[in-house]
Structure 1
Amino acid sequence: MVSPHAPNEAFRQLRGARSAAEFAAAVRRAAREIGEQVSCDARYIGRVESGEIRCPNYAYERVFRHMFPGCEPEDMGFVPREVVRGRGARGKGGAGAADPSEQPKESDVLRRAFMTGSTAAAVAAASLGAAAPAVSAGRVPRRAGEAEASAVEQAVRRIRLLDDRHGADDLYRRATRPLRIAYELLDAGTRRQSVADRLQSGAGELSLSVGWLAHDSGRFSDARSHYAEALATARVAGDAALEAHAFCNTAFLARDAGRPREAVRAAQAAQGAAKALSSTRLMSLLALREAGGWAGLGDRTACEAALLRARSLFARGPADADPEWMSFFGEAELEGLEAQCRSALGDWRRAAGHARRAVDLQDAHFARNTALFTAQLAGDLARAGAPDAAAAAGERALDLLAEVRSTRIRTMLAGTARVLAGRYGGTPSVASFLERHAAD
């Protein structure tokens, strides 16, 4: 049995030679095999191995039992659930002691707001904001504790998971409510600096997640506001990782909003903030954000240099220091972002090649990105003079949009429809796509 906050050596041994990111990917695959939903990433694995997570929730427990048949949770280094939940785990003066304001019973409202969900996007979205009336009634704890910090962190994970599967359109408005709760918790204060740090980071990450929902649903001014709020939170907290993430999202938004020079500056600022974080995968993504800005400016030389740097950094592989929010960034995303750069430069055939690889490589867990890259492929093929292939890709994208709600992807498909209608409207396959797109 593991004592509170002692490293979980047994679980570390189960990981073996795999990196935390690789092991997290294996956990997600195992979850899909048994129909579970977990948003496992390198940070979660790190929290388990450090002893911060002393007992997994029921979903993770089922996944771990599936991965390691015959092993009980105690064999994996976890403590019994009744110890974690019972008063014995929080006795006075012990290593796990907490003041009364930090007990789980005081965070029931927050847990309902942040952690309740369903597989249906609309129901899940509604559940994210379930506790908003209680907040206005003054029921946020007078002091925030471990339970509240955990609830904020879980809200970030749940929003990201739902966005990956369903897109942003049905989630954004509801997700602003937990964000307001998170910042009210910051104002409530805490007696522990460690909890204050987690709340600062969690609120900032939540602001970025909500900002991304605004971004993907076409609410650019809202997204800009949320990203700026996260950046301010990062600066106040002196949190370089959060600052790098905020600048990364700002660069992406600036590119989509037609401000490519701002995209370059923000991406470069993100790289400056990320230098001390020891994550080459993060630096790779930030180089891609910079490349997108250069492509928007039509600077082929600078774009090519940034793309080369991104691929070189990516090739160094994942690391334990890779941020939790980067779970989406694999080879498929690398190909997809290069496709976007090639499109902006007018290299339609090369763009289509990268977009096709992105679709082929994309993990099915990321339904929104699969739809995105399929729409990207359709647009690139249309502009490259391959109308039949473009129409087929457009049809597949429409199929995927039955489950994914993303204004950004629909805007891309609308552009493809205009290109196809103007050049190849008489082609039977194109006519079929255009008819379906108009009715969608």
Structure 2
Amino acid sequence: MAMSREVRNPAFRELRGQRSPGEFAAAVRRAAREIGEQVSCDARYIGRVEAGEIRCPNYAYERVFLHMFPGSTLKDLGFSDRGVVRGRGVCPGAEPPSRPPTGRPPSSRPCTNDPCTDHSCTSHPCTSKNNEESDVLRRAFMAGGSAAMAAVSLGLGPAPVPSQRRVGEAEVSAVEAAVRQIRLLDDRHGAAGLYQRAARPLEAAYALLDAGTARRSAVGRLHAGAGELAISVGWLAHDSGRFDDARSHYAEALATARVAGDPALEAHAFCNTAFLARDAGRPREAVRAAQAGERAAKQLASPRLLSLLTLREAGGWAGLGDRTACSDALVRAKSLFAQGTSDTDPEWMTFFVEAELEMLEAQCWSALSDWPRAAQHAERAAQLQDPHFARNLALYRAQLADDLARAGAPDRAAAAGHQVLDLLDQVQSSRIQAMLAGTARRLLPERSASGVPAFLERHASTPRLV
């Protein structure tokens, strides 16, 4: 279907030759494996490139394409310069801006996408368009929702700065603070309302990297901060059901980790990739990604990180129906968890407490169709969860409701479902709503059970996220 679009990248289309989009995507994946990269290329992605929707590939795809076509540049492949796309670009179909006098914004036709979904677009009315490199990066970062709050708190007001300003402590700290703020808001409220806003500071963070103006002392932290921000935005996409977007963000974080030689960031990227693969119905990929993350994490001396990655592996084995391998992985994960926290645990792992351990084990038993055992662990997770983090509490109770419904306890499932509905005014998560909708469908034949009719009626009247 994607190939019925107008071809706006004829150079790339010519490279495909007589191969179908699917065949060419398979060749891209093979080339990625040859150089140790991980990309999730499919026919749809090829169609988007040829249609001009992807004007510049992320770092992982860039390395793969240049490996496939030695001696070529991105321009030879029909792509735009990354600096144009991320710093001064316009939406597909817009006239390219000419460079203006210093301090004046470029003229370009405003983006007509509403909401704008092209993450490379910087000409949408909500985005800064100052053509001075440092100014556009800084203004883009200031404009970006959670990042704006972080930047203001660091004293980085929106006033223009000299065009050759060096990126230093203040900008790097703003990136790091944006990551923390996004995680906190997601923990408390869910992803749906954050995703579009969070994509903008992510673009700005990578633009800071692309500008090449960071002080030597800031380069490592800037790579790590940008990669962690990519993972955070990828998680928002993941939790909102935008799996293709999530894979792209996770792949970019992984590429950033490898460029920077950062095993902690690499382990985190693989951890989330494994989680996404499980949710997307690719359990074997989940196992491989988790194991790759474990290899990276062994350099960090963090038992808790290894425990989480081993749980991701267990989830993959459960999806494959391998009860023995899953059980073995769960035993290893719990043994590692029991070693406790350490100073080497990554900052992002603050969510990984006993309640999350119980939840991940519940999901494993659920995937293996052991509903009573799954419900036992899901209930334990809900009991242990800090009530201040409404999103996780709603998630755990949604898991519990579904496991109870499948285990033949419709009255208890309905009660747990009511508890989830009580939290939906605070939580915006497509994932949680989808889980609850599945539970409601399963309870339809159980209308005679106590509490079920009231739950079904209330669920049917609850507004859905769009």
TM-score (norm 2): 0.66
How far apart are residue 425 of structure 1 and its match?
A: 2.0
Cα pair 2:141 2:148 within 8 Å, conserved = no
- Structure 2 residue 324 is matched with structure 1 residue 301: yes
Partner of 1:433: 455
Cα pair 1:254 1:260 within 8 Å, conserved = yes
- Structure 2 residue 303 is matched with structure 1 residue 280: yes
Partner of 1:230: 253
Residues 13-24 of structure 1 correspond to what in structure 2 (within 5 A)? none
How far apart are residue 139 of structure 1 and its match?
A: 8.3
Cα pair 1:190 1:196 within 8 Å, conserved = no
Partner of 1:197: 220
Cα pair 1:328 1:366 within 8 Å, conserved = no
Q: Which has the higher contact order (CA 8 A, sep 6+)?
A: 1
Change (3 A) 1:397 1:139: farther
How far apart are residue 111 of structure 1 and its match?
A: 5.1
Cα pair 2:359 2:378 within 8 Å, conserved = yes
Question: The residue matched to 1:258 in structure 2 has which SS?
Answer: coil
Give the gaps of 5 or more residues in structure 2.
1-133
Question: The residue matched to 2:451 in structure 1 has which SS?
Answer: helix
Partner of 2:80: none
- Structure 2 residue 262 is matched with structure 1 residue 245: no
Partner of 1:123: none
- For the aligned residue pairs, the C-alpha RMSD in angstroms reads 2.4
Question: The residue matched to 2:234 in structure 1 has which SS?
Answer: helix
Question: The residue matched to 1:278 in structure 2 has which SS?
Answer: coil
How far apart are residue 252 of structure 1 and its match?
A: 0.1
Residues 409-420 of structure 1 correspond to what in structure 2 (within 5 A)? 409-420=432-443
Partner of 2:374: 351
Residues 64-79 of structure 1 correspond to what in structure 2 (within 5 A)? none
Cα pair 2:141 2:200 within 8 Å, conserved = no
- Structure 2 residue 428 is matched with structure 1 residue 368: no
Partner of 1:267: 290
Give the gaps of 5 or more residues in structure 1.
1-102, 119-126
Instruction: Quote the Cα distance in structure 1 between the aligned partners of 2:297 and 2:409.
Output: 41
Partner of 1:392: 415
How far apart are residue 140 of structure 1 and its match?
A: 7.6
Question: The residue matched to 1:319 in structure 2 has which SS?
Answer: coil
Instruction: Quote the Cα distance in structure 1 between the aligned partners of 2:441 and 2:197.
Output: 33
Q: 2:211 aligns with which of 188, 200, 211?
A: 188
How far apart are residue 271 of structure 1 and its match?
A: 0.2
Cα pair 1:287 1:309 within 8 Å, conserved = yes
Read off the aligned partner of 1:353 and give its amino acid letter. Answer: Q
Identity %: 69
Cα pair 2:284 2:316 within 8 Å, conserved = yes
Q: 1:218 aligns with which of 236, 241, 257?
A: 241
Instruction: Quote the Cα distance in structure 2 between the aligned partners of 1:358 and 1:194.
Output: 42
Deviates more, 1:358-367 or 1:203-212: 358-367
1:324-351 Cα deviation digits (max 9, x unpaired): 0000000000000000000000111111
Cα pair 1:240 1:274 within 8 Å, conserved = yes
Instruction: Quote the Cα distance in structure 2 between the aligned partners of 1:333 and 1:140.
Output: 46
Instruction: Quote the Cα distance in structure 2 between the aligned partners of 1:184 and 1:421.
Output: 51
Read off the aligned partner of 1:386 and give its amino acid letter. Answer: A
- Structure 2 residue 370 is matched with structure 1 residue 341: no
How far apart are residue 388 of structure 1 and its match?
A: 0.6
Deviates more, 1:413-422 or 1:149-158: 413-422
How far apart are residue 107 of structure 1 and its match?
A: 5.8
Question: The residue matched to 1:277 in structure 2 has which SS?
Answer: coil
Cα pair 1:417 1:437 within 8 Å, conserved = yes
Instruction: Quote the Cα distance in structure 2 between the aligned partners of 1:249 and 1:110.
Output: 25
1:176-211 Cα deviation digits (max 9, x unpaired): 000000011111223532201111000000000000
1:389-408 Cα deviation digits (max 9, x unpaired): 00000000011111000000
Question: The residue matched to 1:335 in structure 2 has which SS?
Answer: helix
Cα pair 1:143 1:189 within 8 Å, conserved = no
1:130-175 Cα deviation digits (max 9, x unpaired): x9xx89x998864311111000000000000100011000000010
Partner of 1:144: 167
TM-score (norm 1): 0.70
